[in-house]
Amino acid sequence: MLRGDVATVSVEDLDRMLDINVRGVFLAIQAAAARLTDGGRIITIGSNTAVRSGHPGSSVYSMTKAAVAVMVKGIAVDLASRGITVNNIQPGPTVTDMTVDLIEAIKPLIPLKRAADPDEIAGLVAYLASKKSGYMTGSSLTIDGGMAI
């Protein structure tokens, strides 16, 4: 995530975020699909910013995450004939090494007043990877303590 508003984001920063957050996801899905057996699962990790861009300077990042959500819908259709499901998880603030210094400042913005534990996100990944989710494809599931409401 490189911050900057519409007047200050450089073309280089735009290209970098598109390359990592959109192109990279597409190429990873493409490589996975070539190796998966029929009935496999593809799960991407996006961001709740795909549906809620509430911070100045985050519009490009949010755009890239929204692109992933739309991409998953199309690729799910492409792979449906093989029984491969493609879904996207859109976590909100989660306690990680990258966010540990920011969590306290963000908590007041979260209706549940806390950040996610990584295990909570992992539980959703486990469900989407299981046979129980076999009828779910092309979905983006937001798990963010209510931020995107």
Which residue numbers are catalytic? 61
Contact predicate 4/62, CB 8 Å: no
What are the Cα distances from residue 103, in Å, to 100, 106, 113? Answer: 6, 5, 10
Contact predicate 17/2, CB 8 Å: yes
137 by DSSP, 3-state: which?
coil
Distance from the Cα of residue 74 to its chain's centroid: 15
> Pseudo-torsion of CA 3, 88, 20, 148, nearest 10°?
0
